[in-house]
Amino acid sequence: MRQEIIYAFISMAAAGVTSVIAKHGLRNVSGDAGLFVRTMFVALFVTLNLIVFGYAKELQRLTRTDVLFLAGSAVTTSISWIFYYKAIKTGNVSEVALIDKASIIITLLLSFLLLREPLTIKVMAGAVLILTGLFIISWK
């Protein structure tokens, strides 16, 4: 199995656990306060990862354009997390997470249009199944 696939499965498993743990952590605070605490821990762990594995020296290779794109990603990530935490605070994690993960459809479209990644039958079939699942979940 390719390394990026292994990493993606690890990410998937951790993300799945994250939402359930977060829901428990939001019992006594707003989604915004909970997200703040979570983000502080994320910053700590990412910093430790950068130092422990020796990636900190790579920061000097960043260009202004790289930083601008990463800043844009930070803005969209912040918007996503703020509203995700608001949603899981009051809603069912099982429904919110499914809708949130349908963001892959936007990712697929942008990866084809902007990054010129290949559009395969397998990817299109997966996207159709994800959209179908999203409609089933959101149907009242």
138: pLDDT strictly greater than 80: no
* CB neighbour list of residue 19: distance below 8 Å, 6 or more residues apart: 88, 93, 96, 97
For the chain, which residues make up each domain, given as ranges? 3-92, 102-140
Place of tokens 């800043």: 71
Query: How much is the pLDDT for 44?
Result: 98
- Residue 110 Rama label (left phi>0; alpha psi -120 to 50; beta): alpha
Query: How much is the pLDDT for 135?
Result: 85
Q: Provide the 3-class DSSP secondary structure of residue 49.
A: helix
Average pLDDT over residues 83-108: 91
Query: How much is the pLDDT for 137?
Result: 77
Query: What is the share, in percent, of the chain residues with pLDDT greater than 90?
Result: 80
Query: How much is the pLDDT for 56?
Result: 95
Q: How far apart are CA 135 and CA 130, in angstroms?
A: 9
Give me 61's structure tokens: 């290779």
Q: How far apart are CA 41 and CA 49, in angstroms?
A: 12
Angle made by CA atoms 116, 120, 125, in degrees to the nearest 5: 125
Average pLDDT over residues 16-21: 92
The DSSP code for 57 is: G
**Contact indicator for 35, 82 with CB cutoff of 8 Å:** yes
Beta strands in the chain (DSSP E): none
Give me 101's structure tokens: 């993960």
The DSSP code for 54 is: T
CA 22 from centroid of its chain's CA atoms: 14
